[in-house]
Amino acid sequence: IPVESEHSAMSACIGASAAGARACTATSSQGLELMHEMLFIASGMRLPIVLYNANRALSAPINIWCDHQDSISARDTGWIQFYGENNQEALDLMLMSFRIAEDPRVLLPAMTCIDAFICTHTFEPVDIPSQEEVDAFLPPYKPTHVKLDPDEPMTLGPFGVPEYYQEMRYAQHLAMKNAEKVIDEVFEDFERRFGRKYSKVSPYMVEDAEIVLITLGSVSGTTKEFIDKMRKEGKKIGMVKLTVLRPFPFKELIPLIKNARVVATLERNISLGYGGAIYADLAGTLINEEKRPLLIDFILGLGGRDITFNDLEEIVKVCEKLIRGERMERPVWIGVKKELVT
């Protein structure tokens, strides 16, 4: 549907989904922010819309390169959030997003996020399944909770008075919790059909790791290569890649990191005046655990700046200082040219 803005694009998807159609759109950066009002409406109306978001920085200043501020700013809108490491994951997660969102136990919108330019403007081999395979995995959408039928009219998006509004929000929360099981089921079925394994979190060399790095998106590949290098030097570094950010994978993540001495979140976002968003989620995850590692957040790679081995080495050095008992103010900014800051 041709529209004049991203706000209208999401509005059109809401109308189409409310009429019983399978709806999908794509955006990034300022476009996602222009949609922001309608994201809440899509989730509040329990419409399983799917969105592809190319993660790009937000203005001002004007920037068209990669960071995660756009989708991180939408993490509390009631949308399921997936993050792909590469273009194969972007394709696969899009297919799975439809099935997860449309499951009667969920009925929530879902967005698949992929790093702009690093992935979206890069050629790489991708295994594209046949139409027959996709149709078998993702049958036609048959809504039962909404429909456009003059003979059976229904009210959509009603006025939520104080006596009922909280219950509606609670129902959304339960649906998001239901998504945890549905995501696992769909991931398992996808692996059976296509041979590619997915999980909410993907550990790498965490069994004996003293330092565990938490990653999101394309930096995961760089981090794996870096860990291989560190292991050859005798340093016990591991990594956990988050594929699902909402619902936050508490149960899967805690066993992987609780024995580490330091857990470091690599943040391509910043909550100004506080720190990284993943850090906040993780701190809430760990606070009630009897045994928990030190936790610190690193802000880096904003606005498309490359994340290099040198950056990761600096992160490890800071973590080693924490292990030795030193304390420092968080968040830690990596690669900032302080002579340019006034």
Tell me the one-letter amino acid at 49: I
Q: Quote the tokens at residue 243.
A: 């594929």
The pLDDT of residue 135 is 98
Which residue in this structure is represented by tokens 């594209």? Answer: 128
Please indicate, yes or no, whether residues 22 and 149 belong to a single structural domain of this protein.
Answer: yes
Tell me whether the omega of the peptide bond preceding residue 247 falls within 30 degrees of 0, making it cis.
Answer: yes
Q: What CATH number is attached to the domain comprising 302? A: 3.40.50.920
Across the range 128-136, mean pLDDT stands at: 98
Contact 51, 82 (CB under 8 A): no
Q: What CATH number is attached to the domain comprising 21? A: 3.40.50.970
Q: Quote the tokens at residue 193.
A: 């059909």
Q: What is the pLDDT of residues 261-313, one digit of tens each?
A: 999 999 999 999 999 999 999 999 899 999 999 999 999 999 999 999 999 99
Would you say the pTM of this structure is higher than 0.85? yes
Please indicate, yes or no, whether residues 184 and 214 belong to a single structural domain of this protein.
Answer: no
The residue out of 175, 194, 213 marking a domain boundary is 194
The pLDDT of residue 144 is 87
Q: What is the pLDDT of residues 66-105, one digit of tens each?
A: 999 999 999 999 999 999 999 999 999 999 999 999 999 9
Q: How many CB atoms lie within 10 A of CB 257?
A: 24
Q: How many CB atoms lie within 10 A of CB 228?
A: 12
Q: What is the pLDDT of residues 216-271, one digit of tens each?
A: 999 999 999 999 999 999 999 999 999 999 999 999 999 999 999 999 999 999 99
Please indicate, yes or no, whether residues 278 and 169 belong to a single structural domain of this protein.
Answer: no
Please indicate, yes or no, whether residues 56 and 142 belong to a single structural domain of this protein.
Answer: yes
Domain holding 325, by residue range, is: 201-340
Sheet arrangement for strand 211-216: 201-204, 237-242, 211-216, 262-267, 294-299, 332-333
Closest among 110, 116, 92 to 217, alpha carbons compared: 116
Please indicate, yes or no, whether residues 10 and 140 belong to a single structural domain of this protein.
Answer: yes
Across the strands, what pairs with 215? 241
Please indicate, yes or no, whether residues 276 and 217 belong to a single structural domain of this protein.
Answer: yes
Contact 212, 206 (CB under 8 A): yes
The pLDDT of residue 285 is 87
Q: What's the total number of domains in the chain?
A: 2
Distance CA 53, CA 144 (A): 28
